[in-house]
Structure 1
Amino acid sequence: MISSALRRCRLALAVLGVALCAGAGAAITVQDDAGNTVTLAKPAQRVISTAPHITELLFAAGGGERVVGVMSYSDYPEAAKRLPVIGSDATIDMERLLALRPDLLVVWQTGNTERQLAQLKSLGIPVFYSEPKRLDEVATSLTRLGRLLGQDATAQAAARDYRQKIAKLAAGYAQRAPVRVFYQIWEKPLFTLNGEHIVSDALRVCGGRNVFGALKVTAPSVSTEAVLQENPEAIVGGERHDGQSGIHIWKPYKGLLAVQRNNLFMLDSELLVRASPRIADGVAVLCEKLETARRHRP
């Protein structure tokens, strides 16, 4: 009896061992932001990032040591500044990229040019398209990239922490009295963002409404007259230091509600336009600015 039980136990352990080995060698499959299925035979070891927000996502997901090349302006975290730069939003040095021997390319679907994307796709290296358009998609980006990197636990913890921050902000501000906002990304020419961009989702969390949210183009050019016609209660733009450009161009328009109520707000635009976990910090500042606008009401 003992001998028979021992044999059954050994057999069970052997079967379990085979199953574990099979699981360890199983392919990794996720869906990217373009709806494509991305499959790796094993966790990625050498990853190229083609946008600053992607670099931040990869580091936050636990893959910082796996990133071997980045695009220009990948300046966070500090370690990213020391990585080889393989190009900019205009050009990619394909020879340098291939010399880094990547086994995964994480690319910005709309930030990289069609020519660049075609070149990258032609290399035969697995490609993950990154384009978070909603705040929660930052969290799902972390978990999907973490899976491709073999860093599930780290990525899930980062996603959980990020979601808690966003949920706390939404609970405090999303149901507050709406504030109509013009979000300015540049002044010459005048550019804004539409409702499909993640900035508009940040505005929603803060109880804000994008006055140009219905436009079809993600980053449309608008006229001064269009802004005056919309007459936003608040104007938000990136920090500038000369006092004459940026959102300061609106100061002469005394009839503009945002000017009348002193609601021209500057903030670190990278914290909002980069779809990385740091956007939670940007949303917190944005919510404070819109709350100030509410306090400025008669």
Structure 2
Amino acid sequence: MLFAVGAGDRVIGRTAYCNYPPAAESIAIVSDLQTPNYERLVSLRPDLVLMTFAGNSVAAYDKLVELGLEPFAIAAESIAGTLAAIDTVGLLVGRRDAALSVSRAIRTTIDSIQSLAKARARVTTFVVLDRAPLMTVSGGFVNEALTIAGGENIAAGDLSAYPRYSREEVLRRDPEVIIVPGDSSISPASLVESFPEWSRLRAVRNGRVYTIPPDVLFRPGPRLAQSIRLLYETLHPTDALAK
């Protein structure tokens, strides 16, 4: 988000997983996914430490305050939350107008794709979050993005955010499309090697097993529009959008 609003030159620390844009990879790592390196952070003396409610604990937040740092936690578990977080980050670093421009552009893309998707039949979809155990995603911004793009998540409404599914349940629901976050090595054939009975699924029979880069699909942020665009073009391959 900081790079998107034009404040990338002010970033002096990142987590081990903050790898976009490529320029971010040259910045010092000061945290893993959840636990900050407090000593390293104090030595850098940042004016602001951005955190997320989903990825960081209250204990970590309190520790940063105790050390005299200025943490700020953002909530980006939904599309609305992600857009609000972009605007908030821009405000915090004095890049309000740039942030509003970014969030408006994302909203414009969302509205455009949503309008197109409404004219198409919904496509039942299963997102393979993990294969061992077999897990998917039922809500949050991934489910929202899929819905906007014209998909119908077969796991939507499950009480668990990341429910485990049996192979038989996927067979019973028989999705039209299967999305596997990962590289291009995933194919219907390779999926059937793991789950032979899935050869009977419509998605496999029709060659509609697709991959989407996980960093694009699962990370809420400025690439949200790209994620929804990819989902739309995946679900409706004969209706590619103009770039």
With the length of structure 1 as denominator, give the TM-score of the two structures.
0.71
**Aligned-pair distance for 1:121?**
5.0
Identify the residue that residue 258 of structure 1 maps to in structure 2: 203
Task: Supply the RMSD in Å over aligned alpha carbons.
Answer: 2.5
SS at match of 2:200: coil
Identify the residue that residue 274 of structure 1 maps to in structure 2: 219
Question: Contact conserved, 1:186 with 1:246, CA < 8 A, in 2?
Answer: no
**Aligned-pair distance for 1:252?**
4.7
C-alpha change, 1:216 and 1:117, in structure 2 (3 Å) is farther
The reply on whether 1:85 has 2:29 as its aligned counterpart is yes
2:171 aligned to which of 220, 228, 242 = 228
Report percent identity of matched pairs. Answer: 29
Identify the residue that residue 128 of structure 2 maps to in structure 1: 184
C-alpha change, 1:63 and 1:286, in structure 2 (3 Å) is same
Question: Contact conserved, 1:236 with 1:247, CA < 8 A, in 2?
Answer: no
**Aligned-pair distance for 1:229?**
2.5
Identify the residue that residue 110 of structure 1 maps to in structure 2: 54
Distance in 2 (CA, whole Å) between partners of 1:109 and 1:157 is: 25
Question: Contact conserved, 1:236 with 1:264, CA < 8 A, in 2?
Answer: yes
SS at match of 1:181: strand
**Aligned-pair distance for 1:198?**
0.7
Q: Give the residue type in structure 2 aligned to 1:240.
A: D
Distance in 2 (CA, whole Å) between partners of 1:100 and 1:247 is: 46
Q: Give the residue type in structure 2 aligned to 1:253.
A: W
Identify the residue that residue 71 of structure 2 maps to in structure 1: 127
SS at match of 1:289: helix
Identify the residue that residue 159 of structure 1 maps to in structure 2: 103
C-alpha change, 1:243 and 1:204, in structure 2 (3 Å) is closer
Question: Contact conserved, 2:186 with 2:211, CA < 8 A, in 1?
Answer: no
**Aligned-pair distance for 1:137?**
3.1
1:74 aligned to which of 2, 9, 18 = 18
Distance in 2 (CA, whole Å) between partners of 1:139 and 1:229 is: 36
1:284 aligned to which of 208, 226, 229 = 229
Distance in 2 (CA, whole Å) between partners of 1:222 and 1:111 is: 24
Distance in 1 (CA, whole Å) between partners of 2:21 and 2:132 is: 30
1:235-254 superposed matches below 5 A: 235-240=178-183, 242-243=185-186, 247=191, 249-250=194-195, 252-254=197-199
SS at match of 1:254: helix
Question: Contact conserved, 1:132 with 1:138, CA < 8 A, in 2?
Answer: yes
Distance in 2 (CA, whole Å) between partners of 1:251 and 1:179 is: 23
Distance in 1 (CA, whole Å) between partners of 2:137 and 2:62 is: 26
1:54-69 superposed matches below 5 A: 57-69=1-13
The reply on whether 1:139 has 2:139 as its aligned counterpart is no
**Aligned-pair distance for 1:154?**
1.3
Question: Contact conserved, 2:17 with 2:33, CA < 8 A, in 1?
Answer: no
Identify the residue that residue 146 of structure 2 maps to in structure 1: 203
**Aligned-pair distance for 1:175?**
4.2
**Aligned-pair distance for 1:129?**
2.1
Question: Contact conserved, 1:108 with 1:129, CA < 8 A, in 2?
Answer: yes
